[in-house]
Amino acid sequence: MSEETVQLDQIIPDFTAEATVKPFKLSDYKGKNLIIYFYPKDNTPGCTAESIDFREYYPEFQKANTEIVGLSRDSMRSHENFAKKFDLPFPLISDPEETVCNRFNVMKTKIRYGKPGRGIERSTFLIDRNGKLVKEWRGVKVAGHIEEILEAARQLNK
């Protein structure tokens, strides 16, 4: 993957990453829409709620020719446990070096318990069947987000 950050309305260069189920390769999703959602940490309340929302709506996304992939900096072991615990039907990418995070520009300085630190800003990206980034949501609030993403995915098939 190139060093440049991805841009809206541009083709995303192919990349690979370590993921649950099998290694992730962007080009494997050619012909389908793809959602990549970036979340801060496995097994935290907001991230768990978001992942469960994607799980619950997964059949609807499938009907919209759309695949889902989650991504955080957690280890593969953490991801495997998280996916199993919540029966997630889609892969989770492990990005401890923040390679993919940096390409999508989701690493931000956050204040937690009064102390600054770097972390993932909850963000979702919708890539069309040709590999073009067509929509992005940054600084996501979990409540109501899933319906907005699903509607955007459905619109791509019209």
Residue 6 lies in a domain: no
How many structural domains comprise the chain? Answer: 1
Residue 67 lies in a domain: yes
Span 45-77, pLDDT tens digits: 999 999 999 999 999 999 999 999 999 999 999
Cβ burial of 8 (10 Å; 0-12, 13-18, 19+) is exposed
Residue 52 lies in a domain: yes
Residue 34 lies in a domain: yes
Q: Which of 17, 35, 36, 47 is catalytic?
A: 47
Residues 6+ apart with CB under 8 A from 148: 137
The answer to whether the Cα torsion of 118, 76, 41, 52 is positive or negative is: positive
Residue 55 lies in a domain: yes
CATH of the domain at 97: 3.40.30.10
Residue 4 lies in a domain: no
Residues 6+ apart with CB under 8 A from 130: 11, 30
| Full domain range(s) for residue 30 | 16-156
**pTM for the structure as a whole:** 0.94
Is residue 47 flagged as an active site residue? yes
Residue 126 lies in a domain: yes
